[in-house]
Amino acid sequence: MNNFQQWGDTLRLLVELAGTAAFALSGVLEGARKRLDAVGIFVVGFLAAFGGGTLRDLLLDERPFFWVRHVEMLWGVLALCLLAMLFMRRHHFEATQRGIALPDALGLGLFTATGVHQALLTGMPALVAVLMGLITGVFGGVLRDIVCNQIPATFSDHQPYAVCAFAGGWVYVGAWQLGAPGWLALLACVGFTAGLRMLALWRNWRLPTWQT
Amino acid sequence: MNNFQQWGDTLRLLVELAGTAAFALSGVLEGARKRLDAVGIFVVGFLAAFGGGTLRDLLLDERPFFWVRHVEMLWGVLALCLLAMLFMRRHHFEATQRGIALPDALGLGLFTATGVHQALLTGMPALVAVLMGLITGVFGGVLRDIVCNQIPATFSDHQPYAVCAFAGGWVYVGAWQLGAPGWLALLACVGFTAGLRMLALWRNWRLPTWQT
Amino acid sequence: MNNFQQWGDTLRLLVELAGTAAFALSGVLEGARKRLDAVGIFVVGFLAAFGGGTLRDLLLDERPFFWVRHVEMLWGVLALCLLAMLFMRRHHFEATQRGIALPDALGLGLFTATGVHQALLTGMPALVAVLMGLITGVFGGVLRDIVCNQIPATFSDHQPYAVCAFAGGWVYVGAWQLGAPGWLALLACVGFTAGLRMLALWRNWRLPTWQT
């Protein structure tokens, strides 16, 4: 059983690293499209990777930030941005974009779950916890787009993204309230969120448009 | 006298609900103009309604946020955004815009007063308290416009809006320093702010332009 | 020796005032270019002057903010914005821009040093402290540009600015870890940051462009 849990922890760490890398790369790509300079690429990469969790910690008044406790993640994203600028060229962008879809979806699920979990621990009501999960998963990308001076893609591309995090957040809350063990709630939330996101991408689902 | 106070509390609650609804609707309208998807409409509605007070609480380090204590307000704004998307059409926009002018002005006054009050309670100097009032009343709309990728209307439309909150904030500080009871300071601030705003709208006052 | 320290304190205060004024003026100029109204000019001036330090205090969970402890700085920036609008005309803009280059560079150095110092005091790791210094020095301008609805100049103009703060931050960390007295670390950081910035301006250095 101990062995089993160790596998679980390793898996979780891998998903976290892959998700953070995917978020950072989404920032790097966006920065490149907007022709930012090297400083801008770094900042947008950092914002995309850490912005959501930082905003959650600010709102929940949690300190130290997770990237202060795990400063090696800062160094990792720094190195990733540097490597991207050294070796990535425009003809790699589309493949990268497609390649990060899965880790991005997994990261969305994991970050949502951690946000909901942390909010529930501090005694927040269910809706607030779900919103905290959504903020954790989605607002890194929102900050990235605001700094890049465009309407956040999540709010305007009519693809289900934040909606997946919102639904997945309720899955976590449900599992929590049914008294499920932590790893099961986490697994259900990540599986549901990432699965829904990949399904939406694959079937090309669109959010209903407001016919004004 | 008890009866009188009950009436006052009810009135205040009504103004708060009407003001929050007006702020949320201003977000919904802006989101519709920018052709956001359903998720974007919700987020911008939430930001417009709760952004100012949340920023104030962040700056004053107050927790829990008022929308955590009154989670029913979150549900209310959620329902309002949903209803707007279901039943509101483009030809309703102008009437809505005109219809929310008064509740928006009352909300501006009330939110300014609560911001000033809360800052004075934590011992802030007068100017800081007034700025906190202004942030509470105005920065929901600022965040709304930033997410919608435009220069905040309050800073560029040359209409007196933030100025009304600023002046009303000083009215509150003045009443407070003269030892007026809370309800009188509140009434004076709301009346002055909302009155000034409606007067400015009616007489079409313009802020002085910087003739560069 | 007492005399010597007094001179140091006075010098530091002068640099702080000059730097704050330069930052505020950069906001005023940007606001004028974007044709903001009087309220917008004030807000953007405040954001440019105090935004970076406020964001640092938010992230480090420090209260009260420095502009609450020194409310006279708020009044000063208010007066400065007012004077600028009364007496500055478009043909003064370029000279102002050139004139604030030096105080802006000194301010960048000083604010970076205070950010690093405060983060080290609260036990942050070196990289986090340097990033806090960078945020203190640079993010006032970032917030200014976000409100003015453009990509932050620091991230897109290919001039070394944030990079100078980043390098200067490491100078402070190095001096701190070598056990240098506070005034020496401060002097080294300000001198290095401001010197590098002025050198970059003078020699027209460019950040390496990512050849995608």
Q: Looking at residues C117-121, what average pLDDT do you find?
A: 95
Confidence class for position A1, pLDDT limits 50, 70, 90: low
Would the CA dihedral through A179, A185, A189, A195 be positive or negative? negative
Cβ proximity of B137 and A141 under 8 Å: no
Query: For residues B166 and B176, what is the distance between their CA atoms, to the nearest angstrom?
Result: 15
B77 in a structural domain:
yes
Per-residue pLDDT of A42-72, as tens digits, reads: 999 999 999 999 999 999 999 999 999 999 9
What are the angstrom distances between the C-alpha of A22 and each of A28, A70, A97, A131?
A: 10, 18, 9, 22
- Cα B153 to Cα A111, B64, B169: the distances in Å are 34, 30, 20
Choice between C202 and C6, residue whose per-residue pLDDT is larger? C202
Residues sharing a CB contact under 8 Å with residue B116, sequence separation 6 or more, in sequence order: B129, B130, B132, B133, B169, B172, B173, B176, B189
Instruction: Please name which of A136, A62, C72, A13 lies closest in space to residue B125, comparing C-alpha atoms.
Output: C72
Cβ pair B156:C40 closer than 8 A: yes
In terms of DSSP H, where are the helices of chain A?
A: 2-33, 38-60, 66-69, 71-87, 93-99, 101-121, 126-147, 153-156, 162-177, 182-203
Cβ of A74 and C131 within 8 Å? Answer: yes
Buried b (16+ CB within 10 A) or exposed e, B15-50: bbebbbbbbbbbbbbbbbebebbbbbbbbbbbbbbb
Q: Is residue A138 part of a domain?
A: yes
Q: What percent of chain C has pLDDT over 70?
A: 99
A29's enclosing H/E stretch is helix A2-33
C-alpha radius of gyration, chain A, whole number: 17
pLDDT at B49: 97
For A93, nearest residue in chain C (alpha carbons)? C212
Residue C4 has pLDDT above 80, yes or no: no
Closest CA to A112 of A19, A34, A39, A10: A19
The number of C-beta contacts closer than 8 angstroms across B and C is 71
CA B29 to chain A, closest CA, distance in angstroms equals 10
pLDDT at C30 (0 to 100): 95
Tens-digit pLDDT profile for residues A149-205: 999 999 999 999 999 999 999 999 999 999 999 899 999 999 999 999 999 999 999
Domain count, chain B: 1
Instruction: Give the number of other CB atoms < 10 A from CB of residue C99.
Output: 13
Q: Is the Cβ pair B155, C39 closer than 8 Å? A: yes
| Three-state DSSP class for residue A48 | helix
Quote the pTM value: 0.95
Q: Which chain B residue lies closest to A139 (C-alpha atoms)?
A: B43
- What is the C-alpha to C-alpha distance for residues C6 and A17, in angstroms, rounded to an integer? 51
Q: Is residue B208, in this structure, part of any structural domain at all?
A: no
Cα–Cα dist A42/A150, whole Å: 18
A204 — alpha (psi -120 to 50), left (phi > 0) or beta? left
Cβ distance C68 to B210 less than 8 Å, yes or no, reads no
Q: Percentage helix, strand, coil, to 5, in chain A?
A: 80, 0, 20
Question: Per the domain annotation, does B129 fall within a domain?
Answer: yes
Question: Position of tokens 């609707």?
Answer: B25
Q: Across the interface, do B212 and C37 touch by the CB < 8 Å criterion?
A: no
- Summarised one tens digit per residue, pLDDT across range A93-104 is 999 999 999 999
Residues of chain A with C-beta less than 8 angstroms from the C-beta of B41? 210
**B137 lies in some domain:** yes
Q: What residue of C is the nearest CA neighbor of A90?
A: C212
Q: C131: which 2 tokens? A: 């990033």
Q: What is the pLDDT of residue C86?
A: 93
Please tell me the distance from the alpha carbon of residue A11 to that of residue A27, in angstroms, as a whole number: 24
At C145-190, the pLDDT tens digits run: 999 999 999 999 999 999 999 999 999 999 999 999 989 999 999 9
Q: CA of A148, closest CA in chain B: separation in Å?
A: 10
State pLDDT tens for residues B58-77: 999 999 999 999 999 999 99
- Nearest CA to A163 out of A126, A125, A201 is that of A201
Taking contacts as CB-CB distances below 8 angstroms, the residues of chain A near C196 are none
Query: CA angle at residue B140 from B34 to C145, to 5 degrees?
Result: 70
Please report the pLDDT score of residue A195 as a whole number. 97
Residues of chain C whose beta carbon is less than 8 angstroms from a beta carbon of chain B are: 31-32, 34-41, 43-44, 54, 58, 61, 63-65, 67-68, 71, 74-75, 85, 88-90, 93, 146-149
Peptide bond into A208 cis (omega under 30): no
Kindly determine whether residue C151 and residue A58, on different chains, have CB atoms separated by under 8 Å: no
* Helix C162-177 and helix C182-203, axial crossing angle in degrees, nearest 10: 150
- CB atoms B162 and C89 under 8 Å: no
Terminal Cα distance for chain A, rounded? 56
Stretch A115-125: mean pLDDT, rounded? 95
Give 10-residue mean pLDDT values along chain B (212 residues). 77 91 96 93 97 96 93 96 93 92 96 96 96 97 97 94 97 96 93 97 90 76
B37, B71, B149: residue with CB nearest A125 = B71
Kindly state whether residue C210 falls inside one of the protein's structural domains.
no
Q: Shortest CA distance to C167 belongs to which of C151, C141, C188, C153? A: C188
Mean pLDDT (chain C, rounded): 94
**pLDDT score of B1:** 53
Q: Is residue C1 predicted with pLDDT exceeding 70?
A: no
Residues 6+ apart with CB under 8 A from B158: B206, B207, B209, C37
Residue-level pLDDT at A11: 86
Residue A151, classified by CB atoms within 10 Å of its CB into exposed (0-12), middle (13-18) or buried (19+), is: buried
Task: Give me the pLDDT at residue A4, please.
Answer: 74
How far apart are the CA of C79 and the nearest CA of chain A, in angstroms? 30
Cα→Cα distances C94→C17, C98, C99, C152, Å: 22, 6, 8, 20
Q: What residues of A are in the C interface, CB distance below 8 Å?
A: 31-32, 34-41, 43-44, 54, 58, 61, 63-65, 67-68, 71, 74-75, 85, 88-90, 93, 146-149
In a domain? residue B48? yes
Any domain includes C45 = yes
**What is the pLDDT, as a whole number, of residue B196?**
97
* Crossing angle between the packed helical segments B2-33 and B126-147, to the nearest 10 degrees: 40
| Structure tokens, B118 | 């809360």
Calpha distance B110→A189 (Å, rounded): 40
pLDDT for the residue B186: 94
Which chains have 3 or more CB–CB distances shorter than 8 Å to chain A? B, C
Please count the CA atoms within 13 angstroms of the CA of C73 that sit on its side-chain side: 22
Which residue from B58, B67, B147 is facing A155, i.e. has the nearest CB?
B147
Assign C178 to helix, strand or coil.
Answer: coil
Q: Measured between CA atoms, how close is C67 to chain B, in angstroms?
A: 8
Handedness of CA B13, B14, B19, B20 (dihedral sign): positive
Query: How large a percentage of chain B has pLDDT more than 90?
Result: 87
In chain C, what are the helix, strand and coil shares in percent, each to the nearest 5? 80, 0, 20
Range of the domain at A176: 2-203
- Banded pLDDT at A123 (limits 50, 70, 90): very high
CB contact under 8 A, A155 and B40: yes
Q: How confident is the model over C31-63, as pLDDT tens digits? A: 999 999 999 999 999 999 999 999 999 999 999
